[in-house]
């Protein structure tokens, strides 16, 4: 280990030493040397799993239809879709002209290219010569002629924006660096709106680019000075308005520009009010407003396009039914919602017919909008999955409610030839009792016949932040665990959004510790109910879920045999104290502001994993990070692992750093599968040596 360089943090009269502060210097050769040495150590400590990793990778690969095609989505006179080809890492983005009289999407068949297709972008060609590749914007102009797209070759999510002429295949010479996700075209495709970030990686400016002009003549349309707010830009489905979305964790403001008047100044729909969140969708003569003004779980209202002002309610607030979003079509509205821990879809006909909720047969599932590109349509495309049902794409006739299955993504036989049969598996819902008496849902899936005698190994996943919900879903890679007798479970802890806005509010700020104690309560409950035993239980989480992993390692090290912490936010207090770091100021409404508030400082200090590493024996820990991550900086897990080793030398702790990747890990599907196989092999090794 490199030499310790002491650093002292003084805040609110509290002085704290940080012996691994030097690891935050990415330009220091000693830092790179340290990370490289850790990778070498991890490789040596997991060398015995090489065969198991290859086996698991082979299982994922065998069960995946590598040459495949998404369900084509119609926009104007084209069907748009993405396909993959066996042996190639990245997707190929295509379209095919709509044939005369064609109503239903083309049959995807065996996943081969459709006759007459036009390749818009080939990710494999773009990625050549690069260790990392990610696509940001992908935005076809309303007339179908131009494609705006952006690329990232480092993993730092700073994209270079370009425009391609789809009629000639020529890429225009202008390149706009350091752009963010999101773009919007004017209705005549003469003008492109895009976003750039500030030094803290916050999208804060909307720019106007006129095709045919130099990028250095582009004009700023909107700039947000308040560092708590992020900015977004989009074209409405109706293609009549460009929306500029400005939002913090607690407050929103939306402006519009008529898409036919791209040089017009933005008009605010409703001025921001602290604590009021709203989103906007255009529908005919009105803007639909989904909001929480006096409505904790949100209500739906509208305001006139001509002179936005007061809001007229369409759907009243109903506590316990969290309205998530609204999709507007010429004759229907479709509202995405969440109730009793499950997602749902509600249809509102505009011809006077009665509204209805779509019905689905399984007790646990996830459903939501898929690609719905057209405004004037009676067909709504949705995606559906459960813990035993692979991802499925349906078209719903909004007039009749009839669902037509367009594709269920195939699960091919295992390398041994065993086919996937949903009936061989079962899913369950348990309810754990938290320390304060709150009932916390847990979703489980396992092979049928798994014994309930505490002998079964289990992987328990958790997240619990930002109102992000971990809904029941299918995973091909998970079959490599289930088929070895492992039970997979998700703890739907507070801080997520599974049970509405209150569920989120009771797991953030000065209630954040509920997230951690909920997870431990779920682990204890699953042992009590004889699903598993502490020495057969591994926990897993990433990003803010990695903070959860670090916190429960300190809170209940005896509850777990192992912990996987991916891009973990384990040095949260030091990061949130530094407003010069990416995202810090925007995070103060999630965690609190320890820089200004002594109570927040003391509270965060009491749970942040890095601050609370002790001399206890920890469960085996695998920490994974990426050098170019701009969301959770690599040095957080690096410092955490170093301190764990120093203070608890008997604990088995590993650090694996991707040296050419960002927050999402390595790019390319085969690389991602190998990464997942690495994790699965390590998890299985916690249950039996070499994954037996």
Compute the distance between CA of residue 574 and CA of residue 601 in angstroms, rounded to an integer. 10
- Region of 665 please: left (phi>0), alpha (psi -120 to 50) or beta: left
DSSP characters over 145-179: -EEEEEEESSSS--EEEEEEETTT-PBPS--EEEE
Burial class (CB in 10 A: 0-12, 13-18, 19+), 619: buried
Active-site positions read: 543, 629, 663
Look up residue 8 and give its two tokens.
């002292």
Whose CA is closest to 280, among 263, 264, 257?
A: 257
Give, in degrees to the nearest 5, the angle at Cα 317 between 313 and 320: 160
Spatial neighbors of 522 by CB under 8 A, at least 6 apart, are 432, 440, 442, 460, 462, 489, 491, 493
Whose CA is closest to 655, among 564, 539, 554?
A: 564
Q: Which residues pair with 255 in a beta bridge?
A: 244, 268
Sign, Cα dihedral of 226, 230, 235, 236? negative
DSSP characters over 107-160: P-TTSPPPTT-EEEEEHHHHHTT-S--EEEEEEE-TTS-EEEEEEESSSS--EE
Look up residue 377 and give its two tokens.
């349509």
Give, in degrees to the nearest 5, the angle at Cα 594 between 274 and 635: 115
Spatial neighbors of 353 by CB under 8 A, at least 6 apart, are none
* SS3 state of residue 677: helix
Pairing outcome for strands 68-69 and 78-84: antiparallel
What's the half-sphere exposure (Cβ side, CA atoms, 13 Å) at 132?
Answer: 23
Burial class (CB in 10 A: 0-12, 13-18, 19+), 523: buried
- Region of 158 please: left (phi>0), alpha (psi -120 to 50) or beta: beta
Compute the distance between CA of residue 46 and CA of residue 564 in angstroms, rounded to an integer. 14
Give, in degrees to the nearest 5, the angle at Cα 56 between 54 and 62: 100
């Amino acid at each position: 280990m490199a030499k310790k360089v002491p650093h002292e943090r003084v805040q609110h009269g509290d002085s704290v030493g940080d012996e691994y502060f030097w690891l935050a210097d990415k330009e220091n050769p000693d830092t790179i040397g340290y990370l490289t040495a850790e990778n070498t150590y991890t490789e040596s400590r997991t060398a015995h799993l090489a065969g198991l990793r290859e086996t698991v990778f082979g299982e994922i690969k065998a069960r995946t239809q590598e040459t495949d095609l998404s369900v084509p989505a119609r926009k104007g006179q084209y069907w748009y879709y993405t396909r993959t080809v066996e042996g190639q890492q990245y997707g190929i983005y295509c379209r095919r002209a709509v044939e005369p009289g064609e109503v239903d999407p083309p049959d995807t068949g065996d996943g081969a290219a459709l006759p007459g297709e036009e390749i818009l972008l080939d990710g494999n060609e773009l990625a050549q010569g690069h260790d990392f590749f990610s696509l940001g914007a992908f935005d076809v102009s309303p007339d179908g002629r131009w494609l705006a797209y952006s690329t990232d070759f480092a993993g730092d999510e700073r994209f270079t924006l370009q425009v391609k002429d789809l009629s000639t295949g020529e890429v225009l010479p202008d390149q706009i660096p350091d752009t963010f996700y999101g773009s919007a075209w004017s209705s005549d495709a003469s003008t492109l709106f895009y976003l750039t970030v500030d030094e803290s990686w916050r999208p804060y400016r909307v720019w106007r680019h006129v095709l045919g002009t130099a990028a250095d003549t582009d004009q700023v349309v909107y700039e947000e000075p308040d560092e708590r707010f992020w900015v977004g830009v989009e074209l409405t489905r109706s293609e009549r308005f460009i929306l500029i979305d400005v939002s913090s964790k607690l407050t929103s403001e939306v402006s519009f520009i008529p898409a036919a008047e791209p040089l017009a100044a933005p008009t605010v729909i409703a001025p921001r009010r602290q604590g009021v969140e709203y989103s906007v969708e255009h529908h005919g003569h009105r803007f639909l407003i989904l909001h929480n003004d006096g409505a904790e779980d949100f209500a739906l209202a509208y305001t006139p396009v001509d002179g936005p002002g007061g809001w007229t309610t369409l759907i009243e607030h109903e506590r316990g039914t969290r309205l998530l979003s609204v999709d507007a079509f010429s004759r229907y509205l479709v509202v995405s919602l969440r109730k009793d821990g499950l997602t749902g879809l509600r249809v509102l006909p505009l011809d006077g017919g009665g509204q209805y909720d779509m019905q689905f047969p399984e007790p646990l599932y996830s459903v939501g909008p898929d690609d719905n590109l057209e405004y004037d349509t009676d067909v709504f495309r949705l995606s559906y999955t459960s813990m035993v049902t692979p991802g499925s794409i349906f078209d719903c006739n909004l007039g009749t409610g009839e669902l037509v299955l367009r594709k269920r993504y195939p699960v091919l036989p295992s390398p041994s030839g065993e086919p996937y049969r949903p009936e061989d598996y079962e899913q369950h819902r348990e309810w754990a009792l938290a320390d304060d008496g709150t009932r916390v849902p847990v979703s489980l899936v396992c092979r049928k016949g798994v014994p309930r005698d505490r002998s079964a190994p289990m992987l328990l996943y958790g997240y619990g932040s930002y109102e992000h919900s971990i809904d029941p879903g299918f995973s091909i890679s998970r079959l490599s665990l289930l088929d070895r007798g492992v039970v997979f479970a998700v703890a739907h802890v507070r801080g997520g959004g599974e049970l509405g806005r209150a569920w989120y509010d009771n797991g953030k700020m000065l209630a954040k510790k509920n997230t951690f104690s909920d997870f431990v309560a779920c682990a204890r409950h699953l042992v009590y109910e004889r699903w598993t035993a502490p020495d057969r239980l591994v926990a897993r989480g990433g990003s803010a879920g990695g903070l959860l992993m670090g916190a429960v390692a300190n809170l209940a090290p005896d509850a777990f045999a192992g912990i996987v912490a991916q891009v973990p936010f384990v040095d949260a207090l030091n990061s949130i104290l530094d407003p010069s770091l990416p995202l810090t100021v925007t995070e103060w409404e999630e965690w609190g502001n320890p820089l200004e508030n002594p109570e927040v400082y003391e509270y965060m200090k009491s749970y942040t994993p890095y601050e609370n590493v002790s001399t206890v024996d920890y469960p085996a820990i695998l920490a994974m990070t990426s050098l170019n991550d701009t969301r959770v900086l690599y040095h957080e897990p690096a410092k955490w692992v170093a301190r764990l080793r120093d203070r608890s030398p008997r604990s088995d702790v590993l650090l694996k750093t991707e040296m050419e990747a960002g927050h999402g890990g390595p790019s390319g599907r085969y690389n991602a599968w190998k990464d997942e196989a690495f994790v699965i092999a390590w998890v299985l090794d916690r249950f039996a040596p070499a994954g037996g």
